[in-house]
Amino acid sequence: MSVLVQPLITEKLTRLQEEHQQYAFEVDRNASKPEIRRAIEDKYPDVKVARVNTMIMPSKPKGRYTKSGFVQGRSKVWKKAIITLKEGEIDFFAEI
């Protein structure tokens, strides 16, 4: 089981990175804060985590119009982790 699913990169989260050294990740829904901290420090060895904040992102209704009519459903429930760093920096684009 991989704790870190993917990094989240949006305009708002980019501002958090620049101003407060905070990074956001989509994480496994059952992952605890100590597991997330350990996964971050293992994946990025030059980084020290100061704080981990988590939140469960709720499901939202989604829909679209198709030839056969309106198709509706819901998005999945997922967990977001905001990581505050003591020192170091994470470079997401070096992994690509």
* 61-85 tens-digit pLDDT: 999 999 999 999 999 999 999 999 9
CATH number for region 4-94: 3.30.70.330
Cα gap 24→43, rounded to integer Å: 14
pTM (two decimals): 0.84
Sheet with 78-87: list strands edge to edge: 4-8, 22-27, 78-87, 48-57
Alpha-carbon distance of 6 to 19, in angstroms, equals 21
